């Protein structure tokens, strides 16, 4: 893999957001772990983004928007 120049601060901010997203999911998972939810999550996991319900896509867009906010705030440093 070719080594590319990147902004370390931006990488750290995005990695931090990824950790926040993971932490949010694990917390939600532990609080809502039922067989019914596990069945739903398995179905979602096997479904492409474009085949999800509008509500499910909106949830994903909330996190994608957080990524964009970080990137836009650092565009001048790239």
Provide the residue ranges of all domains of the chain, joining segments of one domain with +.
Answer: 8-28+35-77
What is the Cα–Cα distance from 73 to 66, expressed in whole angstroms? 11
Q: Report pLDDT for 20.
A: 97
* pLDDT at 4 exceeding the cut of 80: no
Mean pLDDT lowest among 7-16, 27-36, 55-64 = 7-16
The per-residue pLDDT for 2 is 55
pLDDT in tens, 48-71: 999 999 999 999 999 999 999 999
Q: What is the largest CA-CA distance in the chain?
A: 47
Q: What band does 75 get if pLDDT is binned at 50, 70 and 90?
A: confident
d(CA 31, CA 23): 12
pTM, to two decimals:
0.81
């Amino acid at each position: 893999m070719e080594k590319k120049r990147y902004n370390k601060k931006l990488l750290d901010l995005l990695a931090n957001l990824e950790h926040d997203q993971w932490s949010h999911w694990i917390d939600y998972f532990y609080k809502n772990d039922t067989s019914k939810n596990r069945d739903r999550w398995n179905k979602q996991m096997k479904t492409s983004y474009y085949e999800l319900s509008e509500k499910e896509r909106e949830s994903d867009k909330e996190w994608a928007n957080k990524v964009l906010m970080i990137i836009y705030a650092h565009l001048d440093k790239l």
